[in-house]
Chains A and B, each alone.
Chain A
Amino acid sequence: MIEIAASTAVVYQRIIIDIAMYFGLFVIVAMALNFQYGNAGVPNMGCAVSASIGGYTVSAIITRIIYYVGTNANIGMKPYATDFDWNYNNQFNTYLMNDYIAEHALFGMSMFLFSIALGFLMGWLMGYVISLPAIRLRATYLIITLITMADAAQILGRNVVWISGGTLGMWVPNVFKWYPGDRTIIMAVATMLIGIICYFILRTMLNSPYGRLMRGVRENDLTVQSVGKDVTAIRRNVLMFASGITAVVGVLIGYYYSYVIQSNFIRATWTYWPWLMLMIGGAGNNAGTFIGCALIIAMRRIIIVYKWSLEQYIWYPIVIFESQLLATLLLVVMIFRPDGLIPEKLLRIPGIDYKRLVHEEAEVDWRIERTDPSERGGLLSRIKGGGKKKEEAE
């Protein structure tokens, strides 16, 4: 009995750690997306590109640096120069390097921090590259190019072996090997910490003058342009910064699995889910992003963990059911709650009562086509005759 209880406790601990880890990862992506779409109006459908760049940074650059240090330390590393050796000696080399890192905690920690910095830098540069073709054009073109780029990143990762081991994937040295306990716990804690840091950075940026400029670009780019601001540059900067933050998530997921493969960075996971979280929670405020993220991650993880019990009720594979459920959820939320669970909040400017300014004196309508709640009526009438009521009122 005690053994069963202990194993159940272990299972629950695993589920909790897993949910915490995924929550930490996706909340960063969703916050970055909220930064772009919710505040600057940049519809970034290429989060998968940035995330995969983070993963590739770990596998192609950081692993090489770690191997280089190991070769100089003379611990019997096998060669890794050619593509073949890079792929097939990878497990052995990683095993040796894990032992090396267990003795040199400082080296492991410094590599972890360096990889996050480098991941941010690479994501930032990649943001420039992916924004190059279409940031000047209409949103439609931007969405089309970013969606195609997500596939391009995967094709390159699949076929260029030195990036992430091609179709076989790459094992990545465990930089937390010096930690005596469960590796996943310290990984989850580190992810949460980075998430909190990202939250404060993004919040500070949003409440700064630049944040107000971003909202101005979202609301009316022509006005912003006419007062002498470079709208294209603002959009590009926002995309680059958020792309860097998303790349940090790619780095973290590489370390969490200790394994990098291109198929981890599929478009559905890294672009569609963050959008789903953003839409459910409500674009434009971080609280909504947290709630949306928590809901989706809990739902998905529980479906995956209790797959066996659920499979008895559904005759087709549970993966299909999960995708259908999430897609239906997004459509239902968009139809019945277009603003999300929590509507957008106004920005905070120190020293100015912004709320009073907006609501009383300036009378600025921040949302296009926001109707009076009393005019809306019930849900069914809103769907059936939303357009007709306006005509009657006129």
Chain B
Amino acid sequence: MIIPVIWMSAIVYASMITLLSIGFTLTHMTAKIPNFAHGTYAGFGVYVSFIAVRYFDMSPYFGFPASFLLGGLIGILLYKIVVSTLRRMGGGAIVLTISTIAIQIFMAQFQHIFAFWTRETYGLMSYGFLLKKNDFKFEVLGQSFQGIFPVSFGLVIAIVVLLRWMLTGTKFGIAMKAAAEDPELSQILGINIDKIQVASWFMTGGMACLAGALLPMWFMGSPGAGARLLISCMAGSLLGGLGDIYGAVIGGFAIGLIEIIFTAQGMKVFGLWVGEYRPLIPMIATIGILLIEPGGVTGWYSRWRVGGGYERLMARLGRSKEE
């Protein structure tokens, strides 16, 4: 066996958390609020995969574009109907944050309604389902892999590369960064903040929904499955520093890996009871990050650069080269 199953599971989960963390951070950068409805977007993705498999009898991967579009649409609707309206009425950051909690409760009910309706009308198992069987399989060096393992990991890498290209190489990305940095100044320079916001809500919603679409191929999908990812996603974003997309990638991946691997190792060493406390791991991580370094990885890195750590490291490396 080349890769243990638990590591595959950890990487699939970490990919999901990374996608969510990128979105959470991007929303926090452009809209300056923590979006608590972010996990609930993922719940819609879970049911898009469900529809693709159970209704249309397709591979769940054909549902991915649809889930991206659906998530984006929900994001835009949310921004246009609630966030933008509230901001125009003079709502502060806290009012907007509370509104996202209301949205979370409101949107989660649609997943419950859909699950209920499907079960009552077609008699399908919609309250707890697994689509592992509908995934494709392949063999490398005698070990069989689930298709979701390379797909989820590849998807994250592709999205990070795309985002990097977009944020550094295109005019739109630079405008987005400027709008995140200083909305008023960028408005003076002729950037349409509203368009930037709509695009960012579309992207974050789409990515979150995509993360949800990955979920039922390895973990159990249910109406509350998406909302349960929220705490890990927030922990990942906090570890990333809530202000930098590359930080979110590192943070989200680290939290996802830690959550699965620590739980599995803890169950081996201390006994099965550790499994119950799995949701505590991201919570402890959140508290630890805030107590030790509230800026997360990004804050630590910038402090290290400012404090001359980089030069010292280079000097040390250079000296070792001379010797």
The answer on a CB contact under 8 Å between B113 and A147 is no
Say if the beta carbon of B276 comes within 8 Å of chain A: yes
Our pick among A137, A139, A320 for the contact of B94 (Cβ within 8 Å) is A139
B 211-249 to A, binary, CB cutoff 8 A, 1 in contact else 0: 000000000000000000001001100100010000000
- Contact stretch, chosen from A9-17, A152-160, A180-188, A208-216: A152-160
The answer on a CB contact under 8 Å between A133 and B290 is yes
Query: B294 — which chain A residues lie within 8 A by C-beta?
Result: 134, 137, 141
- Contact stretch, chosen from B12-20, B97-105, B137-145: B97-105
The answer on a CB contact under 8 Å between B105 and A327 is yes
Q: Which residues of A from 115 to 152 have beta carbons under 8 Å from B?
A: 132-134, 137, 139-141, 143-145, 147-149, 151-152
The answer on a CB contact under 8 Å between B234 and A148 is yes
- Contact stretch, chosen from A67-75, A305-313, A341-349, A382-390: A382-390
The answer on a CB contact under 8 Å between B34 and A334 is no
**Nearest-CB distance from A49 to chain B (Å)?**
12
In the assembly, what is the distance between CA of A152 and CA of B95, in Å? 25
| Known A147-B36, A149-B283; contact A132-B106, beta-carbon cutoff 8 A | no
The answer on a CB contact under 8 Å between A324 and B283 is no
| Known A151-B231, A369-B90; contact A323-B109, beta-carbon cutoff 8 A | yes
A 329-370 to B, binary, CB cutoff 8 A, 1 in contact else 0: 011001100100000000000000000000000000000110
| Known A148-B231, A316-B116, A331-B102; contact A155-B291, beta-carbon cutoff 8 A | no
Q: How would you classify the secondary structure of chain B's contact residues: helix, strand, loop or mixed?
A: helix
Say if the beta carbon of A201 comes within 8 Å of chain B: no
The answer on a CB contact under 8 Å between B112 and A338 is no
**Nearest CB in chain A to that of B93: its residue:** A139
**Nearest CB in chain B to that of A337: its residue:** B89
A 39-55 to B, binary, CB cutoff 8 A, 1 in contact else 0: 00001010000000000
Query: A158 — which chain B residues lie within 8 A by C-beta?
Result: 276
B 48-91 to A, binary, CB cutoff 8 A, 1 in contact else 0: 00000000000000000000000000000000001001101111
In the assembly, what is the distance between CA of A246 and CA of B83, in Å? 30
Say if the beta carbon of B267 comes within 8 Å of chain A: no
The answer on a CB contact under 8 Å between B105 and A323 is yes
**Nearest-CB distance from B294 to chain A (Å)?**
5
The answer on a CB contact under 8 Å between B99 and A148 is no
| Known A143-B34, A148-B234, A152-B283; contact A137-B290, beta-carbon cutoff 8 A | yes
**Nearest CB in chain B to that of A139: its residue:** B94
**Nearest-CB distance from A58 to chain B (Å)?**
23
In the assembly, what is the distance between CA of A162 and CA of B200, in Å? 48
The answer on a CB contact under 8 Å between B102 and A387 is no
**Nearest-CB distance from B287 to chain A (Å)?**
5
| Known A139-B93, A327-B106, A338-B91; contact A133-B287, beta-carbon cutoff 8 A | yes
| Known A320-B112, A338-B95; contact A148-B89, beta-carbon cutoff 8 A | no
The answer on a CB contact under 8 Å between A144 and B238 is yes
Say if the beta carbon of B277 comes within 8 Å of chain A: yes
Say if the beta carbon of B33 comes within 8 Å of chain A: yes
Say if the beta carbon of B21 comes within 8 Å of chain A: no
Q: Which residues of B from 155 to 207 have beta carbons under 8 Å from A?
A: none
In the assembly, what is the distance between CA of A152 and CA of B284, in Å? 9
The answer on a CB contact under 8 Å between A272 and B113 is no
The answer on a CB contact under 8 Å between A338 and B102 is no
Say if the beta carbon of B128 comes within 8 Å of chain A: no
Query: B93 — which chain A residues lie within 8 A by C-beta?
Result: 139-140
Q: How many residues of B contact A (CB 8 A)?
A: 46
Q: Which residues of A from 252 to 298 have beta carbons under 8 Å from B?
A: 268, 272, 275, 279
A 70-100 to B, binary, CB cutoff 8 A, 1 in contact else 0: 0000000000000000000000000000000
**Nearest CB in chain A to that of B94: its residue:** A43
The answer on a CB contact under 8 Å between A134 and B290 is yes
| Known A338-B91, A387-B88; contact A140-B276, beta-carbon cutoff 8 A | no
**Nearest-CB distance from A258 to chain B (Å)?**
27
**Nearest CB in chain A to that of B279: its residue:** A155
Query: B95 — which chain A residues lie within 8 A by C-beta?
Result: 334, 338
The answer on a CB contact under 8 Å between B290 and A335 is no
**Nearest-CB distance from A277 to chain B (Å)?**
12
**Nearest CB in chain A to that of B90: its residue:** A369
The answer on a CB contact under 8 Å between B105 and A268 is yes
Say if the beta carbon of A8 comes within 8 Å of chain B: no
Our pick among B98, B106, B276 for the contact of A328 (Cβ within 8 Å) is B106
The answer on a CB contact under 8 Å between B109 and A140 is no
Say if the beta carbon of B273 comes within 8 Å of chain A: yes
| Known A134-B290, A155-B280; contact A383-B89, beta-carbon cutoff 8 A | yes
**Nearest-CB distance from B228 to chain A (Å)?**
10
Our pick among A151, A268, A338 for the contact of B90 (Cβ within 8 Å) is A338
The answer on a CB contact under 8 Å between A331 and B88 is no
Query: A327 — which chain B residues lie within 8 A by C-beta?
Result: 102-103, 105-106, 109
Say if the beta carbon of A228 comes within 8 Å of chain B: no
In the assembly, what is the distance between CA of A338 and CA of B109, in Å? 25
| Known A320-B113, A323-B105, A331-B106; contact A151-B279, beta-carbon cutoff 8 A | yes
Instruction: Provide a sorted-by-A list of 25 A–B residue pairs whose CB atoms are within 8 angstroms.
Output: A43-B94, A134-B294, A137-B294, A139-B94, A139-B97, A140-B33, A141-B290, A144-B34, A144-B286, A145-B287, A148-B286, A149-B283, A152-B280, A155-B280, A158-B276, A159-B276, A272-B101, A317-B116, A323-B106, A330-B99, A334-B99, A334-B102, A335-B86, A335-B89, A387-B88
Using A143-B94, A147-B231, A324-B106 as known contacts, list a sample of 19 further A-B pairs with CB atoms less than 8 Å apart, ordered by residue number in A.
A133-B291, A140-B242, A148-B231, A152-B279, A158-B276, A159-B276, A272-B102, A279-B98, A324-B109, A331-B82, A331-B103, A334-B95, A334-B98, A334-B99, A335-B85, A383-B85, A383-B88, A386-B89, A386-B90
| In the complex, the 7 A-B pairs of residues with the closest C-beta atoms, listed nearest first | A327-B106, A133-B290, A369-B90, A327-B105, A330-B102, A148-B283, A327-B102
Residues of chain B touching chain A, judged by Cβ–Cβ distance below 8 Å, are 28, 33-34, 36, 82, 85-86, 88-95, 97-99, 101-103, 105-106, 108-109, 112-113, 116-117, 231, 234-235, 238, 242, 273, 276-277, 279-280, 282-283, 286-287, 290-291, 294
